[in-house]
Structure formats: structure tokens, C-alpha cells
């Protein structure tokens, strides 16, 4: 069931259309990733969903409530961790998080337990009485993320969960986001880290210049790139020209590059399904294989493919 529906959701800032007739549904319980180059409109979309800014056109329904007509009801279901933490600079993380927990309606025992847990998990326990003012960028971001982990909202919106955070911290936050999902939250995240999106998201949407380019599971998006997979083969002997031509005729093989006479790179679709056919082909042609390596396209390839495409089209 869709927990969020965006219908022609649009935001204009003067002449600039930051979000352009976005139509998307987000299913209850999924982790949904928003991707797109800087300025694509990710943050603007999220800020409309959390009712911080108003749409210029179109609408969004959050948990059954229209964000323009019943913003208060929609807001009750949502927690957000902002891209740029707007923390109270004079406060300590201890104060910020206890205050947040109180506003979210947690009981005093829940508050005590969750604030302690979040501070410990995010390695902030030792610094809990320091002023946030003296914190590094990554530490501030941790406090911002802690807010949502303490709140455990029905819909958690996280804008760039791990920018500025070190690799150990990233892994911790990724695990905590997964736990939040397991506890029943629907999670929407915007990120510029494709690895993060791939790791966490059930589905991702790629935006570009305010428009939705594509939306699907990371696996399906990777499969959608024609010739996106590749198999690299090193043979015991040189491959004759005729063999290369025959190889190209195998269904789903898109291109064959001869790197060296005995070293081939085969571009194809869904390589895992035709790998047996490829090895059999070389056995039949009496060309023993020395080594074979298969690799899948990453979400980086998908991103470059879709965003690159539109840039080219725009130039045309
Ligand atoms: N308050 C505002 N006033 C005017 N223009 C704005 C405002 N907020 C955003 N924009 C513009 O809207 C466009 C989309 O910005 P947005 O912050 O949504 O992008 P983003 O996809 O989150 O990018 P990033 O990856 O850099 O976080 C940009 O061109 C930005 O300059
Ligand atoms: Mg942003």
C-alpha cells in the first residue's frame, strides 16, 4: 500500500522549476532512495513532503493526509534529518536530543533509554555535554541522525544520511537505518552516494533538473542498461577472427572487445544467465579458458547512463 503519493508535485522558485510535475508512490515499509546530481530537486521534494515548503502546483498525500490541506496531521507521521543540520548552537547533544525526544512525546523512561542508546551507538556519549558549536561537521550530522533514530517515526525522511561521516560511522548509520525499517518505519533518503543507495534501498528514483528520469529496484535498473554487464576472458590461445564474430552472434552479447589476441571483454545483458553458454562456446571451439571474470554494472553506471542521456538530449 502506498504511504506517500505525489501527484504532479511541483515547486518553482521564481523562474526556476526545482521540482517539475513529480509523480511517485512510496510503499509502506520500504526504503526509498532519491538520487540525482546537485540541484536535481531532491531536498526540495523532501521539504515539501515534510510541509516545510508549499508546493506551487500538484499535491502529495502523506499517510492519507493532503500536505496542503492537513499539514499538521501529515507532519505527525514524519520525522526528518536535514541535509544541513539546523541545531541550536548553544546546546549540547544531550540537551538537543532530550528536548527532541520530549517534543516527540516519548515518556521519560523511553527518553532516557533511547537518548543514551543513540549517543552511545553514534560515538557521541563522551561528548554529550560539549556545546554543539565546538563539533566537527561529521559530529553535527550524527546528532541530526540521532534525532530520527530516537523519534522512530512512521515515515523517516533522511537527507544525505552520511555526508561528512567517517566510514565506521557510515556502517553504523546504515545498520541503524535498516533496524528502523525492521521496526516498521518507511524510510525515504536522498543521497549522492550511489553505494549507499544501492546498499539500502528497495527502490530508487533518479531525478534530474526537477524531473523524474526513472524509478525501480537497483537490480532492475542495473539490468536495464543494455550491455551493462561484462565478462572478461583470458584464453590459453589466441582467438581467431571468426570466433569473435560467432561470439557476437550469441543472443544478448552486445559487443566484444579484443584487448589482446587472447584477452576478450564481452559486453552483455544479464551475464549470469548466459555465462554457461559462453564457457560452452569456448570448449566447443577448442579454446581453453585460462581465467574468466564477471562483473555487474554498479548504480554508478546506471546513474551515468540515465543522467548522461538527458544532458546529451538537452544539448541537442
Ligand atoms: N529556497 C530556495 N530559493 C531559491 N532556489 C532554491 C531554493 N531552494 C532550492 N533552490 C534551487 O532549487 C534547485 C533544487 O535544489 P535542491 O536543494 O532541491 O537540490 P538537491 O537535489 O537536493 O541537490 P544537492 O545534491 O546539492 O543536495 C536548485 O537549483 C536550487 O538552487
Ligand atoms: Mg539536497
Mean pLDDT in residue range 197-205: 97
Question: Looking at residue 112, what DSSP letter applies?
Answer: H
Q: How confident is the model at residue 311 (pLDDT cuts 50, 70, 90)?
A: very low
User: What's the average model confidence in pLDDT over 5-33?
Assistant: 98
Closest by Cα among 63, 307, 273, 295 to 204: 307
* Range name among 62-76, 154-168, 264-278 with the lowest pLDDT average: 264-278
Supply the pLDDT for residue 74. 95
Cell numbers representing residue 180 in the block? 528502523
Pocket probe for ligand 1: among 9, 10, 39, 53, the residue whose CB has the most ligand atoms within 8 Å is 39
Q: What is the pLDDT of residues 99-120, one digit of tens each?
A: 999 999 999 999 999 999 999 9
Question: Residue 89: its pLDDT value, please?
Answer: 66
Q: Which ligand is nearest to the CA of 307?
A: 1
The pLDDT of residue 87 is: 62
CB-CB neighbours of 254 under 10 Å: 15
> Ligand 1 pocket, 36 CB below 6 A?
yes
pLDDT tens digits along 24-63: 999 999 999 999 999 999 999 999 999 999 999 999 999 9
CB of 42 sitting under 6 A from ligand 1:
yes
Q: Is pLDDT at 282 greater than 80 in this prediction?
A: yes
Please report the domains of the chain, with CATH numbers, ordered by start residue. 2-219 (3.40.50.300), 226-296 (3.30.70.100)
- Supply the mean pLDDT for the chain: 91
Least confident range from 5-9, 74-78, 305-309: namely: 305-309
What whole-number percentage of the chain has pLDDT above 70?
Answer: 96
Q: Is 83:92 a contact under the CB 8 Å cutoff?
A: no
- The answer to whether residue 316 scores a pLDDT higher than 90 is no
Find out whether the beta carbon of 40 lies less than 6 Å from any atom of ligand 1: yes
Output the pLDDT for position 314: 45
Side-chain-facing half-sphere of 253: CA atoms under 13 Å: 21
Which of 36 and 299 is assigned the larger pLDDT? 36
- The mean per-residue pLDDT over the stretch 260-269 comes to 89
Segment 198-225 shows an average pLDDT of 93
d(CA 152, CA 180): 7
Nearest CA to ligand 1 atom 11: 18
CB of 49 sitting under 6 A from ligand 1: no
Q: Which residue has the CA at smallest separation from atom 2 of ligand 1?
A: 13
Amino acid at each position: 500500500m502506498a504511504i506517500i503519493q505525489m501527484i504532479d508535485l511541483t515547486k518553482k522558485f521564481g523562474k526556476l522549476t526545482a521540482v517539475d510535475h513529480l509523480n511517485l508512490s512510496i510503499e509502506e515499509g520500504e526504503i526509498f532512495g532519491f538520487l540525482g546530481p546537485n540541484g536535481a530537486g531532491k531536498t526540495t521534494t523532501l521539504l515539501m513532503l515534510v510541509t516545510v515548503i508549499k508546493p506551487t502546483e500538484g499535491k502529495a498525500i502523506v499517510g492519507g493526509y493532503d500536505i496542503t490541506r492537513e499539514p499538521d496531521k501529515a507532519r505527525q507521521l514524519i520525522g526528518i534529518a536535514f541535509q544541513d543540520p539546523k541545531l541550536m548552537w548553544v546546546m549540547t547533544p544531550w540537551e538537543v536530543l532530550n528536548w527532541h525526544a520530549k517534543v516527540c512525546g516519548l515518556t521519560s523512561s523511553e527518553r532516557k533509554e533511547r537518548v543514551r542508546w543513540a549517543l552511545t551507538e553514534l560515538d557521541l556519549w563522551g561528548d554529550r555535554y560539549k556545546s554543539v558549536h565546538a563539533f566537527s561537521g561529521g559530529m553535527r550530522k550524527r546528532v541530526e541522525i540521532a534525532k530520527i533514530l530516537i523519534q522512530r517515526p512512521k515515515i523517516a525522511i533522511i537527507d544525505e544520511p552520511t555526508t561528512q561521516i567517517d566510514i565506521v560511522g557510515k556502517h553504523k548509520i546504515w545498520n541503524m537505518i535498516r533496524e528502523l525499517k525492521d521496526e516498521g518505519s518507511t524510510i525515504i533518503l536522498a543521497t549522492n552516494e550511489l553505494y549507499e543507495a544501492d546498499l539500502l534501498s528497495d527502490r530508487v528514483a533518479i531525478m534530474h533538473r526537477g524531473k523524474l528520469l526513472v524509478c525501480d529496484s537497483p537490480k532492475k535498473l542495473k539490468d536495464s542498461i543494455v550491455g551493462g554487464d561484462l565478462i572478461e576472458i583470458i584464453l590459453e590461445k589466441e582467438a581467431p577472427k571468426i570466433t569473435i564474430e560467432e561470439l557476437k552472434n550469441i543472443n544478448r552479447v552486445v559487443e566484444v572487445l579484443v584487448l589482446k589476441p587472447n584477452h576478450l571483454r564481452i559486453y552483455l545483458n544479464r551475464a549470469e544467465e548466459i555465462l554457461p553458454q559462453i564457457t560452452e562456446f569456448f570448449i566447443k571451439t577448442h579454446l581453453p579458458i585460462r581465467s574468466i571474470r564477471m562483473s555487474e554494472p554498479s548504480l554508478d553506471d546506471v546513474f551515468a547512463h540515465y543522467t548522461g542521456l538527458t544532458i546529451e538530449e538537452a544539448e541537442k
